[in-house]
Structure 1
């Protein structure tokens, strides 16, 4: 093998998804730089690979980086792996890749499993254009601001989400994007309890709320982009709507704002139902 850093994709669940090339690289490498050596050790043990490992992640100290760079400087082969899937896709490592390249060493991709792409391929949503957003902010205010900024995006949106936040994230998506948007919950992809469920956001939120099992494991959310002249509730309209809802029934408040803005009454009413008055 040529000397260099090999960015190796590993399975996201089903070990049968690892490629023959990935196994060959991992077995032949002089060093494996792993996000979590304990996690990667199980994979290597399964395939009887005994290549030395070094922990490397975005918080690694200079010693870890130096060990990788020293190996490359000596003409060696280093394999970079994350806990699952394709490294650097919402995972640490780009700083290492960049520094390796800047020092004149080669970087080789060894493609394979990626949860975002796997979910998108089976989503039933448009795939001609998509925007990968990774994890949304954990705090509600920042999450809402980010979703509002994406409300007018026409490409399919792809997110990763922590299981304990998926229910509130779906509620935030209803508020910011509209409950009629189609979306896919892809959970535990390639694993025993894999779930693929596509529905409008309102229905998907109910599906998750009704089954606690859907709030466990690794989760990808894919959401259809804005289509045509689909209305989006702007922050100033939302503020007016909430203020009127303090004085009027929700349907009446929605009707008044619809008359003033030209937005659909159904959209505004749905927004109120899923966005309690503050």
Structure 2
């Protein structure tokens, strides 16, 4: 196993740029190249902290194509940092494939601790956080109903990511499969100026977000089925 770290997984702020860690800044300043989900978004972050490092696109649509070349470059000693648009790489963002292949190649990886949207949403929901499951985004079409039927029996707190455009539909389906009185907590725009969290029965939140258009990134925390 190679001892020198050649790949750093670097969490970036989910909204407030001040949430980046000092260590993350040090790593971004020290690597040879930054792999970014969106070079424009990451470029803004690097510019804000006066970090001048080459950026290379690495996202869901090109990761298979560039994977082999990146592994070869790291085997040759190039040090890279992987960042996503927001939060920790690999959590509903690109990162898993690169990490897996780097480990297969015997390369040393480090993942820095840092921002992840579902953690503050879970903690501030008031729902049990000692046992929970993270589901990320539900399937849009195929497999969605099957997933909801299975999760209707889940007793642990459940966490989902959702688009503002599908929030109303998702809450309607939660009412159908989990029951209209199931407690849910919807957090949006976490760490940003218009951060908002609403917690209550599905029926109440469905009415609220039917009357008020939701904007921004959304995390939904759902109480598990009573045992």
TM range (shorter): over 0.9
Higher relative contact order (CA 8 A, sep 6+): 2
Deviation at 1:4, TM superposition (A): 1.6
Provide the rounded CA distance (Å) in 2 between the counterparts of 1:61 and 1:206. 40
Deviation at 1:36, TM superposition (A): 1.1
Matched, 1:197 2:206: no
Superposition TM-score, scaled by structure 1 size: 0.78
Gaps of 5+ in 2: none
Larger Rg: 1
Provide the rounded CA distance (Å) in 2 between the counterparts of 1:3 and 1:108. 7
Conserved? CA contact 1:34–1:56, under 8 Å: yes
Aligned length: 225
Provide the rounded CA distance (Å) in 2 between the counterparts of 1:58 and 1:137. 16
Which residue is 1:75 aligned to?
77
Provide the rounded CA distance (Å) in 1 between the counterparts of 2:21 and 2:63. 31
Aligned-residue Cα RMSD (Å) equals 1.6
Provide the rounded CA distance (Å) in 2 between the counterparts of 1:145 and 1:63. 32
Provide the rounded CA distance (Å) in 2 between the counterparts of 1:144 and 1:169. 11
Deviation at 1:118, TM superposition (A): 1.6
CA-to-partner distance for each residue in 1:216-269, whole Å, 9 max, x for gaps? Answer: 1100000000112xxxxxxxxxxxxxxxxxxxxxxxxxxxxxxxxxxxxxxxxx
Which residue is 2:155 aligned to?
154
Gaps of 5+ in 1: 229-278
Provide the rounded CA distance (Å) in 2 between the counterparts of 1:225 and 1:63. 40
Task: Name whichever structure is richer in helix by fraction.
Answer: 1
Aligned residue among 27, 36, 43 for 2:45: 43
Deviation at 1:67, TM superposition (A): 4.2
Which residue is 1:178 aligned to?
179
Aligned pairs for 1:189-228 within 5 A: 189-212=190-213, 215-228=214-227
Superposition TM-score, scaled by structure 2 size: 0.94
Query: Structure 1's 91 and 62: CA in aligned 2 closer, same or farther, altered over 3 A?
Result: closer
Conserved? CA contact 1:157–1:222, under 8 Å: yes
